Structure 1
């Protein structure tokens, strides 16, 4: 029962864990670009061998960044119900799309083949790997670094009148507020449980019952979100923030040869995942 209230422990995206590793010291611009390319390569990798290599590499990233592996694995736990639902839907209804290979079961419109099973396994692995890589990126990069790095990468879009700074700020705030809302939701669950509400009494696969249990949390969570947004607006106005205005930066980022070496390695690794003909 107590594990049902440990939401912040299972939310790794949006938190920053300073460990002093070389991954933390990388130029945020290089880190965002290289990790973004890696995530795209993972999304298009459709082989067992490629996904196994990526899974091992993503676990190695936790080691290199000195982030506890148990902490990283806890970020997958909230996504397990979605992975299971997605796997069941793909297995039952994607038989016509992945119709090749050996047929295991055919009943009406439900066709389960070796290729549809392959699609289910590969999709689940890609989902987990993207969570791992995204967790390493946010756990090793502070909110300020994410904002400046994203703004620098999108700077060419200013020539087409795209609000680069505002977009970068919105994306960074959205990522940063994920653990904040998890903490608020955890407080509400504990408060309502102390008043007799039931949370986590059913099995995790009983999706409809567990969703019904969350309904009393949704309305107050939206109210808290609006209050947090209003507080943020007042804080930014108190600091004379003007959208679209020219702003100076306290820190100037300079890329080192080590940063470019990491970029070259991740680009080569991503190209290898996309171009190498894995047998399985």
Structure 2
């Protein structure tokens, strides 16, 4: 039954309490820091730049006292899809990037040096993005993230943006990620106990699709039931939104928060200003053509 343990492989939305400096930061600081690092990762132009950002993410995990192995566990569920996508891109993207050395060519399949470089860059980007987005939820509670997002969106309220409602929607969505994994795990175990074949063979996606199709209906039914229970719980507690709400926790930024924000913005600017293509040309001249 180990293949049905989905919840242990879901890291987004899971809070890990530790007495680290990252945990003590203002949630607005952590959200802003993650935003700038995710932005830098998205627009990374070279493998070396992406490796630098991944090293920064590993450093943040070490300071937060969170195991990188646990953070990367969130990729386990998506490995079959990632392998399929990157394999197809590796084989067929060579025609989109014809420049560079051609390693293999047959029929519609063309494997070039640039296509390999782009696939590796995309893989490192995904790993870094999963790392960064997982860390912000592992070091902040749902309540802290809700208050942080709402405070960051408060300046847009004068333009009619419902900042509180948007923050609540985002945080409920994050909280429901592990809930969906738990429901899926429960349904899979119930189906397996009735001798259902839930084979997840990577090389037989048609068989896996037929096996998982009966799980979709009970999963959505349970999701709607959980959503209905949440609505009843909020109404029973006289929940109101908007200007009428008060907060028990008041967010206050410290000197450390300002230092972290300034350091993150400075790091983002430095990464964007570094001539990574020139560095790559220098490395190519030294014989290091992997970057």
Separation of aligned partners in 2, 1:268 and 1:111:
41
Separation of aligned partners in 1, 2:203 and 2:12:
24
| Greater Cα shift, 139-148 or 259-268 | 259-268
| 1:270 corresponding residue in structure 2 | 268
C-alpha deviation, 1:233, in angstroms:
0.7
User: Which protein has greater RCO, CA pairs closer than 8 Å, 6+ apart?
Assistant: 1
C-alpha deviation, 1:247, in angstroms:
0.9
- 1:80-119 → structure 2 map (5 Å cutoff): 80-119=79-118
| 1:244 corresponding residue in structure 2 | 242
| 2:218 corresponding residue in structure 1 | 220
Q: TM-score w.r.t. structure 2 length?
A: 0.90
Separation of aligned partners in 2, 1:143 and 1:167:
14
| 1:231 corresponding residue in structure 2 | 229
Tell me the SS of whatever aligns to 2:275. coil
Separation of aligned partners in 2, 1:211 and 1:26:
44
| 2:17 corresponding residue in structure 1 | 18
Q: How many equivalent residue pairs?
A: 278
Q: Deviations over 1:203-255 (max 9, x none)?
A: 33433322322111110010011111111111111122234342111111111
- 1:1-280 → structure 2 map (5 Å cutoff): 2-199=1-198, 201-278=199-276, 279=280, 280=291
Separation of aligned partners in 1, 2:72 and 2:2:
15
5+ long unaligned stretches in structure 2:
281-290
C-alpha deviation, 1:109, in angstroms:
4.4
Query: How big is the alpha-carbon RMSD for the aligned residues of Structure 1 and Structure 2?
Result: 1.7
| Greater Cα shift, 22-31 or 47-56 | 47-56
Separation of aligned partners in 1, 2:85 and 2:273:
27
Separation of aligned partners in 2, 1:130 and 1:238:
38
Tell me the SS of whatever aligns to 2:74. coil
Tell me the SS of whatever aligns to 1:101. coil
| Greater Cα shift, 65-74 or 113-122 | 65-74
Separation of aligned partners in 1, 2:206 and 2:173:
27
C-alpha deviation, 1:84, in angstroms:
1.4
| Greater Cα shift, 210-219 or 14-23 | 210-219
C-alpha deviation, 1:17, in angstroms:
0.8
5+ long unaligned stretches in structure 1:
none
Is the alpha carbon distance of 1:209 and 1:145 closer, same or farther for their aligned partners in structure 2, counting shifts above 3 Å? same
| Greater Cα shift, 244-253 or 202-211 | 202-211
